[in-house]
Structure 1
């Protein structure tokens, strides 16, 4: 198993490098890369770059939640107004995979900038037709539940569309706007462990499965001074999001959540070019009749990498982490496209912020492959010290 994973890792890395070297004209081969040239609209030879830039990576891969797969990751970047050279480039990462465990998964996470960055749309669209796992609710249940096809597994066919339209407040760095969510999940092939879970039963689940629909509206307020949101080198990001769900909107139950997140990024020029320290903290608290599929979670490619996706869940989750990111500066075009990251952090889940079930420590390291200027493909190896397990992640753009 170990040797098979190593082979898959190497093949995927070679696919990344091959597409990166043969398919792009956007990297500098000079080790004296400076920030002002990173998103230039002309190449070093003076040729204009295309507004739409497209990267694609494909081949065998591996995720901790779905095992081995045949996957494809695509990254589109462009300016909504190609004549506005000050407008941030919109970013649309798309990933799809055929899973060896059965099923298919497709996700897109657009970040779109309009009208001289006076209007933004940040959202996500995800279609899932695959096996998933549910470990119960609460730290102790999550920690003691053995993951298997008879204890935690079920099949999920779902569509989720959510996002926020944000409007800049005058000439400030504050944004505010409406937020929405539409999610429909059909659960089937319920394992004995899930079928006997008290929360699952209380929410109407049976041996045959259940259907969960959420339709919610709310608001989002953010303060954002990041230079490039998809891979910031400097700046601060602070965000508050709230949504409310009710039967009169079409939801099955009445519930809501409030989340607050802080991120900060700082260049470290005394260590060399393209060295960044990033840190973040996030709290998400839900209330009401929250579906177990929508409770606050720890364990994803975007927080404490090393825990299975959704292994730890309750009405409230929180985490904090710091990450050092470094790209190599070399005269070699290939080497200058490579870099690494190391991180450490901790989190919790509980019924509320004042009653954490326990501490979730985390650390790890990863490889970075530049596929477009300031846009990286990442391969991360995260450590869960509680279960003494290592999980591997393949994703476009940084974790936060």
Structure 2
């Protein structure tokens, strides 16, 4: 009996020792793992979230619309949240309220489906703004004065232009149809504009001009870019044709042919050289608002959008892009790690046919980049118009090309 009691006491002592040892082990393990800060917990929650977005807004200025109150939003997400290897879809959106009176809404989504075997890209916009018409052709455009009594008019219009791209086998080629529906209306044309020969020839009157164009076309694309919205490497080659026809419900019969080549080469950590060659051409009974433009926020930054227009426009450009690389050891270095800059140079060529060049448009500029999401930048660009000796400022989401 005595031996039994001693054995029971030894068993309880053993259990207590094991319990104490386990407790001490738990305590030591707990002590070895530092408690996460609220900021780190919040960061981990954000990282796990599928939808990421940034919204910016405030007073702004654009060369085409003057002073305005604008806002930009950038949303990125995966169509299949559980597939972490899938490309993130990108939806940049912009809204602008003009002090002169007007509203501009635009989005250019890039949506990736089914392991990037299917894509929907495109442009969707609504505009009710004050714009300018400088005529058609280089000589007229170059010398035509910009102003309330010469070039201004009230424009309202809607564009619905989705592209549907299917991957061809296991290659980097994509092909598919696109639709382009446009309603354009011009009211309150300036006195000088009413007497322009090209405006009169298109059917414009002192009361204005309106047109509806309905097009159906195709795209063939080769795309090896790592991230289309801000590529560090790869190539993009796009060939597209559009037929606008009265048979589709439009007002005119005309055609559009475009070729867009872009190349990206990494030359260091977050350092890229990008270059592009583009050509846009229209043929047939082209509406006043559908001529090829030379000079937009996405190519020759520095030229007023629409100032140079004709049936053919060609662009050659190169751009150096660099983000600042730091070790993130201080908050200043962390901030600098989200900042970068660019410098570009290029030239535009325009004329009445693809082979007839009547105007040369040299262009250069510099820009600031602010990273709001990984590989997604806000861009602030200052471009130089070498023909009219003027500088124009731009504020946009994602890179120009």
Provide the TM-score with structure 2 as the length reference. Answer: 0.87
Matching residue of 2:252: 253
SS in 2 for 1:359: strand
Matching residue of 1:162: 161
**Maintained 8 Å contact 1:296/1:313:** yes
Distance 2:127 2:378 in 1: 22
Following TM superposition, by how much is the alpha carbon of 1:380 offset from its aligned partner in structure 2, in angstroms?
0.1
**Maintained 8 Å contact 1:43/1:49:** no
Following TM superposition, by how much is the alpha carbon of 1:101 offset from its aligned partner in structure 2, in angstroms?
2.3
Distance 1:196 1:162 in 2: 32
Q: 1:279 pairs with 271, 275, 278, which one? A: 275
Distance 1:46 1:382 in 2: 40
Distance 1:391 1:383 in 2: 7
**Maintained 8 Å contact 1:178/1:219:** yes
Task: Verify: 1:333 aligned to 2:329, yes or no.
Answer: no
Matching residue of 2:12: none
SS in 2 for 1:251: coil
Distance 2:305 2:42 in 1: 41
Following TM superposition, by how much is the alpha carbon of 1:49 offset from its aligned partner in structure 2, in angstroms?
2.4
SS in 2 for 1:88: coil
Matching residue of 1:354: 355
Distance 2:44 2:195 in 1: 66
Q: Which runs of 5+ in 2 are unaligned?
A: 1-38
Matching residue of 1:207: 206
Task: Verify: 1:343 aligned to 2:344, yes or no.
Answer: yes
What does 1:284-295 correspond to in 2, within 5 Å?
A: 284-295=280-291
Following TM superposition, by how much is the alpha carbon of 1:230 offset from its aligned partner in structure 2, in angstroms?
0.2
Following TM superposition, by how much is the alpha carbon of 1:56 offset from its aligned partner in structure 2, in angstroms?
0.6
Matching residue of 2:66: 67
Distance 2:58 2:64 in 1: 18
Q: Which protein is bigger by CA-based radius of gyration? A: 2
SS in 1 for 2:222: strand
Q: Deviation digits for residues 271-309 of structure 1, max 9, x if unmatched?
A: xx1000000010011100111211100111100000000
**CA RMSD of superposed structures (Å):** 1.6
Provide the TM-score with structure 1 as the length reference. Answer: 0.87
Task: Verify: 1:312 aligned to 2:313, yes or no.
Answer: no
Following TM superposition, by how much is the alpha carbon of 1:45 offset from its aligned partner in structure 2, in angstroms?
5.9
SS in 2 for 1:268: strand
What does 1:173-212 correspond to in 2, within 5 Å?
A: 173-212=172-211
CA 1:205–1:46: 2 relative to 1, 3 Å: closer
What does 1:23-42 correspond to in 2, within 5 Å?
A: none
Structure showing greater relative contact order (alpha-carbon pairs closer than 8 Å, 6 or more residues apart):
1
Following TM superposition, by how much is the alpha carbon of 1:353 offset from its aligned partner in structure 2, in angstroms?
2.2
Q: Deviation digits for residues 15-43 of structure 1, max 9, x if unmatched?
A: xxxxxxxxxx99xxxxxxxxxxxxxxx99
Matching residue of 1:52: 51
Following TM superposition, by how much is the alpha carbon of 1:47 offset from its aligned partner in structure 2, in angstroms?
7.2
Matching residue of 1:399: 400
Distance 1:43 1:219 in 2: 45
Following TM superposition, by how much is the alpha carbon of 1:333 offset from its aligned partner in structure 2, in angstroms?
1.5
Q: Which runs of 5+ in 1 are unaligned?
A: 1-24, 27-41
Matching residue of 2:77: 78
Matching residue of 1:390: 391
SS in 1 for 2:93: strand
Following TM superposition, by how much is the alpha carbon of 1:211 offset from its aligned partner in structure 2, in angstroms?
1.2
Q: Deviation digits for residues 185-222 of structure 1, max 9, x if unmatched?
A: 11101111221112221121110012110110000000
SS in 2 for 1:304: coil
> Which is worse superposed, 254-263 or 80-89?
80-89
Q: Deviation digits for residues 159-185 of structure 1, max 9, x if unmatched?
A: 111021000000000000001100101
Task: Verify: 1:140 aligned to 2:139, yes or no.
Answer: yes
Matching residue of 2:34: none
Distance 1:44 1:93 in 2: 23
**Maintained 8 Å contact 1:51/1:82:** yes
Q: Matched residue pairs, number?
A: 358
Distance 1:197 1:87 in 2: 52
Distance 1:46 1:219 in 2: 42
Following TM superposition, by how much is the alpha carbon of 1:68 offset from its aligned partner in structure 2, in angstroms?
1.0
